[in-house]
Copies of this chain bind each other. A is one copy, B any other.
Amino acid sequence: MTAQPTSAHPDTPWVLGLDGIAYGGDYNPEQWPEEVWAEDVRLMREAGVNLVSIGIFSWALLEPEEGVFDFGWLDRVIDLLHANGIRVDLGTPTASPPAWFFATYPHTRVVDRSGTVLGFGSRGMANPSSPEYRAAAVRITTELAQRYGSHPAIALWHVHNEYGAPVSEDYSETSAAAFRSWLQARYGTLDALNAAWGTAFWGQRYGTWEHVDVPRLTPSVTNPAQRLDFARFTDHALRECFVAEREAVRAHSTIPVTTNFMAAECPAVDLWKWADEVDIVSDDHYLTAEDHRSHVGLALAADLTRSVARGKPWLLMEHSTSAVNWQPRNLAKRPGEMARNSLTHLGRGADGILFFQWRAGRRGAEKFHSAMLPHAGTGSRVFREVVQLGADLQKLAPVRGSRVRADVAILWDWESFWAQDLEWRPSVDLGHRERIRAYYDRLWQDGLTVDFAHPEDDLSGYRLVVAPASYLLTEEAGSNLDGYVAGGGTLVVGCFSGVVDQDDAVPAGGFAAFLRPALGVTVEEHAPLRAGEQVEVAWTGALAGTDPTPAGVWTEDLVLHGAEVVATYADGPLPGAPAVTRHAHGEGTGWYVSTCPSVEGLAPLLAAVYADAGLAPSGLPAELEVVRRHGDTSDYVVAVNHGAEAAELPATGTDLLTGETFAGTAKVPGGQVRVIEVAR
């Protein structure tokens, strides 16, 4: 028999057999004697677990020798879970080939940029361009799909694990050949490649395809266009591996397929492209433990995941119940923090909350990673909170399938990040991630829900588009933003944007030339600041009277082409020069911010921008995070109080967790979450 999908939106594939919120985690029964399995399943039921991911690192057990398969233990685990009503997210184990694979095919081992061949004894796939790896991955995937493709326990296919991590780029000869083929397909002629890579610079012109190589370590800085193309190629090669496995699955199974992204953390894959390839988007997210505002980073990651899923509900495939093990200082989560984290993800679109991992592993590199069932066992705080969360999620079944809507979009483009992160940029202090996070945090504090979007997406549905860091911006993207503003949109662009085109080349017309129609400015010269140096931004025009704002890292010498000056530099390298501009263009307005204000410094600026966009801050207490999911008949207001004091929220409806009803105002206790069903 084949299991049937259940979904609030019948056209949207979803985890088979689950009507409510998915709950569970990675489960590694192969690390334990079988007598432990019964206890695992019993405790899973106690915790309300309804979905576990298995088999992710099991290749060496499933295929102990090349072509010899042993599925007995996996059969038994799946049957046990099925018998207990726990659904299975079945992994393909290709993120970690066995020892025999690398021994038999030693040239598939990953070669790093310095030429070091990486050995066995950790985790990590082979060179993604290796035909031997791809064949072996398809073979084990096919075996699994044939055996379990119609098994009633299986709710989802979990292909591979975190593509792009822990390493992605490979500098072997195999990759060099594959890179050449990819380049030939991209450019057609060597002249086109020479032009795009600017090989006239430093005498790099190629006379034959055979001389084109991967960007190895070189005596000085390597051609940036070559490195950018190598990043694109690497993303493509990884995606080819995924597609090959997915097709191997689909040949024998109609069960939906996912692979777990690391949306905000893995720089190697372009999820705008990847999300089109999966049936269900899923994501792994881990807090930066020492970040005092790590919950804002979490919200960003959740919004980004929902955005690459194009608004459809998604699965939080992995997060942690408490500490992780790979950061410099792995702080444990404090009581209630895991629940706040989980429900923030849910508020921002997740319909499943899973953890790495079910039971803490006693051995290996991740023994200090927290789990649903810690080393300290069922008497622990963490397990108690896990049981509580499971019970809470069962009450939230009605939320399943509802959607988040945003009036604001932030531009996000992995290709731009790849380019900006190369060497020899004007200042080591200027980072795209820091800038995006700063603008995002400002919007978070102002209570405005945000989508992320690609610069060439249709943006017309948003009242406000923010481009904190669009270093690489194509001419097409420039036209898109022009059209967006002319059509009535409000656009804010941060400094060092529109600097290069798709080839990492400065446009004819200079910096920001493609943004000139929308913004009415171009950039004559970058003027980075010294380490730690601050400048003062003095507001003028409509913002006259506002207190000056300190900014750092960066300033720019602007050329006005119609924009009005909203702020000037009071000091620094460009005293008196424009710092922030506003351009009335068509039906909309385009703002440009030529420096790096802090999150606080962005407040007066964005307040004025909101006015242009017809938006208003929520006015809620600073620590109260509120997101609304829109269902078919009800809305669900998810309110997370990150503060220690109770906070008031305007709401009329019923808290699904406590059953309390509110008419007008709900009090959210310190550290607590409410999910209030509100009639439409």
Q: Which A residues fall within an 8 A CB radius of B?
A: 28, 30-31, 57-61, 64-65, 93, 96-100, 103, 110, 114-124, 166-167, 197-208, 210-213, 215-226, 290, 322-323, 325-326, 328-332, 334, 360-368, 370, 374-377, 379-382, 423-429, 500, 503-508, 510-511, 522-531, 557, 559, 573
Q: Is the CB of B375 within 8 A of A506?
A: yes
Q: Is the CB of B202 within 8 A of A368?
A: no
The contact of A207 among B100, B223, B365, by CB within 8 Å, is B100
Closest 3 interchain pairs by CB? A198-B363, A124-B219, A119-B216
Q: How far is the CA of A182 from the CA of B455 in the complex (A)?
A: 59
Q: Is the CB of B526 within 8 A of A368?
A: yes
Q: Report the copy number of this chain in the oligomer.
A: 3
Q: Is the CB of B290 within 8 A of A530?
A: yes
The contact of A99 among B64, B207, B528, by CB within 8 Å, is B207
Q: How far is the CA of A31 from the CA of B198 in the complex (A)?
A: 8
Which residues of chain B have C-beta atoms less than 8 A from A31's C-beta? 198, 200-201
Can you name 30 A-B pairs with beta carbons within 8 Å? A31-B198, A60-B199, A65-B207, A97-B203, A99-B205, A103-B211, A115-B116, A120-B204, A121-B213, A121-B223, A122-B202, A122-B218, A123-B202, A123-B220, A200-B363, A201-B366, A202-B364, A221-B365, A225-B364, A323-B526, A325-B424, A328-B427, A329-B530, A330-B427, A331-B529, A360-B506, A367-B506, A370-B525, A376-B522, A376-B523
Q: How far is the CA of A380 from the CA of B556 in the complex (A)?
A: 13
Which residues of chain B have C-beta atoms less than 8 A from A220's C-beta? 122-124, 166-167, 365
Which residues of chain B have C-beta atoms less than 8 A from A211's C-beta? 99-100, 103, 120
CB nearest to A123 among chain B residues? B202
**Nearest CB of chain B from residue A226's CB, rounded to whole Å:** 6
CB nearest to A199 among chain B residues? B60
With A381-B557, A530-B331 known as contacts, the answer to whether A116 contacts B217 (CB < 8 A) is yes
Which residues of chain B have C-beta atoms less than 8 A from A361's C-beta? 198, 201
CB nearest to A210 among chain B residues? B103
**Nearest CB of chain B from residue A512's CB, rounded to whole Å:** 10
Q: Is the CB of A330 within 8 A of B528?
A: yes
Q: Is the CB of A58 within 8 A of B203?
A: yes
Q: How far is the CA of A197 from the CA of B171 in the complex (A)?
A: 30
Which residues of chain B have C-beta atoms less than 8 A from A362's C-beta? 198, 505-508
The contact of A573 among B65, B332, B524, by CB within 8 Å, is B332
Which residues of chain B have C-beta atoms less than 8 A from A424's C-beta? 325-326, 365-366, 368
Which residues of chain B have C-beta atoms less than 8 A from A116's C-beta? 114-115, 217
With A60-B205, A98-B207, A427-B329 known as contacts, the answer to whether A122 contacts B559 (CB < 8 A) is no
Q: Is the CB of A219 within 8 A of B323?
A: no
Which residues of chain B have C-beta atoms less than 8 A from A222's C-beta? 119, 121-122, 365
Q: Is the CB of A201 within 8 A of B124?
A: no
- Can you add 5 more A-B contacts, CB < 8 Å, to A100-B208, A123-B220, A328-B428? A28-B200, A198-B363, A198-B364, A201-B366, A328-B531
With A213-B120, A325-B424, A331-B528 known as contacts, the answer to whether A364 contacts B58 (CB < 8 A) is no
Q: Is the CB of B100 within 8 A of A219?
A: no
Q: How far is the CA of A528 from the CA of B323 in the complex (A)?
A: 9
Q: Is the CB of A225 within 8 A of B331?
A: no
The contact of A329 among B97, B212, B531, by CB within 8 Å, is B531
Which residues of chain B have C-beta atoms less than 8 A from A328's C-beta? 427-428, 531
Q: Is the CB of A364 within 8 A of B201?
A: yes
Q: How far is the CA of A322 from the CA of B556 in the complex (A)?
A: 13
Q: How far is the CA of A463 from the CA of B416 in the complex (A)?
A: 60
Which residues of chain B have C-beta atoms less than 8 A from A500's C-beta? 367
CB nearest to A198 among chain B residues? B363
Q: Is the CB of A218 within 8 A of B99?
A: no
With A201-B361, A510-B377 known as contacts, the answer to whether A367 contacts B329 (CB < 8 A) is no
Q: Is the CB of B323 within 8 A of A217?
A: no
Q: How far is the CA of A594 from the CA of B123 in the complex (A)?
A: 33
Q: How far is the CA of A325 from the CA of B224 in the complex (A)?
A: 13
The contact of A197 among B65, B114, B202, B363, by CB within 8 Å, is B363
**Nearest CB of chain B from residue A471's CB, rounded to whole Å:** 11
CB nearest to A369 among chain B residues? B424
Which residues of chain B have C-beta atoms less than 8 A from A323's C-beta? 426, 525-526, 528
**Nearest CB of chain B from residue A248's CB, rounded to whole Å:** 19
Which residues of chain B have C-beta atoms less than 8 A from A370's C-beta? 525
Q: How far is the CA of A628 from the CA of B92 in the complex (A)?
A: 67
* Residue picked from A117, A202, A328, most chain B C-beta under 10 Å: A202
Q: How far is the CA of A205 from the CA of B73 in the complex (A)?
A: 15
Q: Is the CB of A221 within 8 A of B122?
A: yes
CB nearest to A207 among chain B residues? B64
